[in-house]
Each structure stands twice: as structure tokens, then as C-alpha cells.
Structure 1
Amino acid sequence: MNNQPIGVMDSGLGGLSVVRLIQQQLPDESIVFVGDEGHFPYGTKPQAEVRKFVLTIGKYLEKYPVKLMVIACNTATAAALSTVKKALPIPVIGVIHPGAQAAVNTHAHTIGVIATDSTIKDGAYEREIHKIDPTIKVISQAAQPLVSIVEHGLTDTPQAQQVVNEQLSIFDTHPIDTLILGCTHFPFLKKQIQNKVGKHVQLVDPAKETVIHLQTLLKDKNLLSTTTATYHLYSTGNKNTLITGANKWLHGNYTSCASLTL
């Protein structure tokens, strides 16, 4: 057993989709969350720059200390997972492999991927899917504007649906069986995305799959906690934005929220 918290990081508020799932599935686990809003967005930045940000946060979390780090950001996972794994003495997991595996498990012939500019340019999901099954067709689409919709609290608005419709229009002429929500911000737009692609398309949330993987890892390594959970949230930008997101998506279920300078 290990009662130290789990470290979770993201470029902004999207990682709260992972935090809320940990709260639901692993209610005894404490969490330290860092939203790097001071450097938001990651999706339009060079990978070398993103690696630097993620490594800095990883070293901060290691010293906190946390028992494990979750890179709850697809862009950061693509850019930095292997680097951070080598640099830190604690287990580090990302969101891409669990999401790719879950999509393949749907037995889809054609898988769609929506993600940030950087994740799509990197080809991380297509590469991971083809490692598992090279026969699957992958249609990738950058949908960077959806990140801003979430960060600005515009989910569940007509504007959100309009932007989703515009960004996912490629699937009107390129039909898919399964769609990977390849950014941890996107589950907050699941309703609008499902409206656009139709009920026949199965949506895969890598955040959900990552928490399933996390649960298995904690059990296998005997790292499960047995104490009352606490949730400490930090923002490298405006903490009020994080507070608003946490009140909305975590239902106010957090211990503290503060600014952080790294």
C-alpha cells in the first residue's frame, strides 16, 4: 500500500476529465493536479518546448512527492512520455496507448481521431493503432478550436455545437466506425460530438481507458491507498479559471486550489 497522492498534469483544464474519473473509480486515492495554463495551449507549440514543460512539472510532482504521474494530455503524451519516463524514478503513464487499444477493441474497420494540431501532426494515434492492427484505416483530423471552447467554459452552448460541426465535417464524406477523442478536453463536448457523428459511431475516451489502466497498475504494484482522499489543484496561470472548471466538472469536490510558479 502507498498513501502518497497520484500526480496528474495537463496543459489546462482538460486533465480534470481524468481527475473526475479517478475520483469516481478510485475514491481512496489522493490527487495533486497541475494545469499548465501559463503555457496553454500545448497543441500549437513545438514538441521540444512541450517536453520541457512536462519535464518541469514531472520533477515538481516527484518532489511533492507523488507515487505515480499521469500525463493527462494527449499532446504532452506524444511529445514527452518516453523522456519523462527515463527522467523520473516513479511510474509515468500517458493517455495514447490506452485510447488506441480501446479503439482497436471495438473491431472497427475505420477509426477516426480528433486531437490538437500537434498530436495529429505527430501521428501518435495512427502509429499506435497500426502497431496493434496495421489493417485498420485511420482518418485523423486536427480540431484545435474545441480546446478553447472548453477552456472558456462554453460547453453545452449553441456555439459549441457549431464549432464541433465545423471541425468534424470531414467525417461527412469519410465515414468512420469509431472515433477517438484524442484530447482530454474533448470528453466535455461528448454530447455535441455524438450529435455530429451520429449514434452509430462509437466514441472512445482515452481518459476513461487511462484510469482503467491506472487502476490495474496500482493493484499490480501494490500502490493502492487506504486513507481519506484529498485533491490539491494547481494552476500555472489564472487559478480562477481552474476553480471555475473544478466547480463545474468536479462538482466542487476538491481540497484546495492555488497558483503555482514553476
Structure 2
Amino acid sequence: MAEMDKRPIGMMDSGLGGLSVLRVLQKEMPGESLIFVGDQGHFPYGTKSQAEIRQLALAVGRFLQEKGAKMMVVACNTATAAALPTLQKQLSIPVIGVIKPGAQAALASGAQTIGVIGTESTIKNGAYDHAIKDLTTANIRVVSQAAQPLVSIVEHGQTGTVAAQRTVDQELAPLKGQGVQTLVLGCTHFPFLKKEIEHTLGPAVKLVDPAFETVKHVQAALKVSDGENTGRAPVVELYTTGKTTDLVNGAQLWLGGQYDSCSHIDLEVTR
């Protein structure tokens, strides 16, 4: 039997959103150690230029590589759209993003009209439109809507509030009457607003959280390289470029405190 690869899986996001992918990974791959970097010191990514996002994502990627990660999961749609090819070229470990898995899951729903909500950057980039068109020859209509303010609601711990519902209603109003059958939560912060989004759009619209499909991609990639760890003593390390209290609060809320440490880091960003 091949020896298990006990090295951790590295993950990144612009803030807390990536915890929505981390919690699925923890559930589906309980033997894996994880290193998560929330780049809260440079939050938000959604309003930054593509070049800036690439530099930040590369700095995180190099940090994860130095920490001995066996793979990098870009648990951020904005960074995936802007930086995935660069990361894959410049890092020596495999890198998986969330957009292609999200597009595959949306297509698997069988919808003819797919809605996508994301940050300004992801929507402007047309990342999901391109990914969906690359994956199918069928005539699928994609309706995209930037919903940047929702990111801050999650980042500031305001999910489940009246203000959160009001903002979701406002941001998603343009999608009403568009015949959207499936909605891609095209920002890893958005699954934390699932209740509010369901309330706004009603039960007929199927919500797609790319995290589940992304984790399947991670599992498949590690199987190919014999890189899985099915042991049972995983270590989960959290790092932030911002305030540790913010990441700790998010981890308490969304990971149920299932982590080992949380530390502040400063990234070496090459301009």
C-alpha cells in the first residue's frame, strides 16, 4: 500500500469566505491537515485590479508552498478568475480553483438559465460565462449580477440579521423575473447567506455552492498522485494578514471551533 502523504492542503481567500470551502473539505476529507490563509489585510479583492489580485494570490501561494503544502486550493472566485493560470505556472504544487467546479455543478443541474452572483471583479471578468461556454455546446443563458456588498456583510459577522436580508433583497432584485433556474454562489462568502438568498429568490431556484464540486476535484487530484491522507490526526492552522480576532470569530461561527491555531502573518508581496 502506498504511504500516505501527510503534508497539509493549503487554502486561501481574501477573507473569511474560504471557510465555506474549508468546512466542506473537513467533512469530506477528515484525514487531511489544512493550512488556511485569509488575506484580510488586503480585503476586499473584488474591487482591486487583476494585476494586484495576482500579486497577492502569488504571495499567499509562495507562503503555502514554504509551509510544505502538497496542493493549493484557491477558495476565492475573484482570485481564481484573476490568478489561477499564473499560480499554476509559478508554483511547483498543483493549484485548484473554484470556478470550473462551480460551472460544472451549475450545468449538472440541467438549468437552461443560470444566474451567477459574485464580486465586481469576478462578474466584470465574465469568469463563469467563459467557464460555462467552455464546458458545453448547449445554448445556456447566463445572467450575471455583481453583489459586492454581500461580501462585507459576511466579513463583518452580520449574517442572519434584518440588515443582511435587506441588502440581499436589494442586490438580487435585478435577477427577479429573469427566469433563473439555478444560481451559482460565485463568491465563497455567499454560502453563509444561503438562508437570506433562498428567502429572496424562493424555493424554485436551485443554489449551487461550488465548494462541494471543488472538494471532488481535490479528491480526484490527490487520488491520481497518491497524495491522500486518510489518517485521523489532522492539524488545521489558520493565518490572517489582518486581525486574528476576525478570523477566530469566523472560525468559531462557521467551523464550530474545529481548528488548532490562528496566527497573524505579513505577506511578501512583490510589486
TM-score, scaled to structure 2:
0.95
Could you say which residue in structure 1 is the equivalent of 2:265? 260
Q: Quote the Cα distance in structure 1 between the aligned partners of 2:69 and 2:159.
A: 32
Question: What is the distance in 2 between the residues matched to 1:180 and 1:137?
Answer: 13
Pick from 90, 94, 118 the counterpart of residue 91 of structure 1: 94
Match of 2:53 in 1: 50
1:181: how far off?
0.1
1:121 and 1:226 mapped to 2: Cα distance? Answer: 40
Supply the AA of the counterpart residue of 2:248.
I
Give the stretch that moved more between structures: 158-167 or 130-139: 130-139
Provide the residue aligned with 1:14 in structure 2: 17
The whole-number CA distance in structure 1 between the counterparts of 2:197 and 2:179 is 14
SS of structure 2 residue aligned to 1:43? coil
Which among 243, 252, 257 is matched to residue 248 of structure 2? 243
CA distance in 2, matches of 1:197, 1:27: 33
CA displacement, residues 26-75 of structure 1 (integer Å, 9 cap, x when unaligned): 00000000000000000000010000000011011111110000000000
* CA shift digits 1:157-179 (9 cap, x unpaired): 11111100000001223120100
Asked if 1:221 is matched to 2:229, the reply is: no
Q: In the aligned structure 1, how far is the partner of 2:177 from the partner of 2:57? A: 37
Aligned to 1:33, the other structure's residue is in SS state strand
Instruction: Give % identity.
Output: 56
Give the unaligned 5+ runs of structure 1. none
Per-residue deviation, 1:226: 3.7
Aligned partner of residue 193 in structure 2, secondary structure:
helix
The aligned residue for residue 110 of structure 2 is: 107
SS at match of 1:173: coil
Which amino acid letter does the alignment assign opposite residue 243 of structure 1?
V
In 2, distance between residues paired with 1:195 and 1:27?
32
Q: Aligned partner of 1:31: which letter?
A: L
Amino acid at match of 2:43: F
Q: 2:125 aligns with which of 100, 109, 122?
A: 122
Q: Secondary structure at the match of 1:113?
A: strand
Equivalence for 1:66: 69
Q: Which runs of 5+ in 2 are unaligned?
A: none
Distance apart, 1:217 and its partner CA: 1.5
Which of 172, 177, 182 lines up with 2:181 in the alignment? 177
For 2:230 and 2:178, the matched residues in 1 are separated by 48
Q: Which amino acid letter does the alignment assign opposite residue 150 of structure 2?
A: L
Deviation of 1:223 after TM superposition, in Å, equals 0.5
- The Cα shift of 1:212 comes to 1.6
Q: CA RMSD in A?
A: 0.8
Q: Does 1:189 align with 2:193?
A: yes
Cα distance per residue 1:86-108 (max 9 Å; x no partner): 00111000000000011011111
Q: What secondary structure does 2:103 align onto?
A: helix
State the one-letter code of the partner of 1:122. N
Partner of 1:81: 84
Residue 8 of structure 1 aligns to a residue whose secondary structure is strand
Partner amino acid, structure 1, of 2:128: Y
SS in 2 for 1:140: strand
Distance 1:119 1:43 in 2: 7
Q: Which runs of 4+ in 1 moved over 6 A?
A: none
Could you tell me how far 1:133 is from its partner in structure 2? 2.4
Corresponding residue pairs, total: 262
**Counterparts of 2:176 and 2:71 in 1: how far apart (Å)?**
41
Task: State the alpha-carbon separation in 1 of the partners of residues 32 and 192 from structure 2.
Answer: 23
Matches within 5 A, 1:194-205: 194-205=198-209
Q: Secondary structure at the match of 1:169?
A: helix
Q: Partner amino acid for 1:238?
A: K
Aligned equivalents of 1:207 and 1:78: distance in 2? Answer: 15
Aligned to 1:231: 236
